[in-house]
Amino acid sequence: MTNEQPSRARSPFSAIRAIDYTVIFVRDMDAMRRFYEDVLALSLLRELSPNWIEYGIGSNTLALARPSRTAADVPTPVGSASLQLAFKVSPAEVDACAEELVRQGVTLLSPPTNQPFGHRTLFFRDPDGNLLEIFAEI
């Protein structure tokens, strides 16, 4: 008997190099669209339909979609975040973002805070309750 492990074939998934786009399945498209366009001031890339809207963030795309667009999943229950997104900025911009969020009437879950792991963070929620973070490396 030998202790050798069978050789594993190289997975085709090892070709993945980046996350190209992220989809947020929304409960309230109008509120989410206003938030991402007016509060976060994201650049609209394209609107494929009233059920699918895309924003450009650097080399990535953030899409808002109604679940029926790609799957028949029921929306996440109210009061439950379905995801957390972290948006990277410079250290000074963390505080500027916090001021703008407060000016826009967004409740901060955590004000700008220097974390022991080397990030300055700010946490808040979008209209559907998803957890959003603005952070900078410090």
76, 75, 78, 86: which is closest to 22 by C-alpha? Answer: 86
**C-alpha angle 100-103-104 in degrees, rounded to nearest 5:** 90
Sequence-ordered list of residues with C-beta below 8 angstroms from that of 3, at least 6 positions apart, any chain: none
pLDDT in tens, 122-134: 999 999 999 999 9
Confidence of residue 43 (pLDDT cuts 50, 70, 90): very high
For the cut 70, the answer to whether the pLDDT of residue 3 exceeds it is no
Which range (6-10, 19-23, 28-32, 115-119) has the least confidence?
6-10
The strand order across the sheet containing 84-88 reads 84-88, 131-137, 119-125, 108-114
Name the token pair of 104.
Answer: 């826009």
Would strands 131-137 and 84-88 be described as parallel, antiparallel, or unpaired?
parallel
The DSSP element (H or E) to which 119 belongs, if any, is strand 119-125
Which residue ranges form the domains of the chain, and what is each CATH number? 84-137 (3.10.180.10)
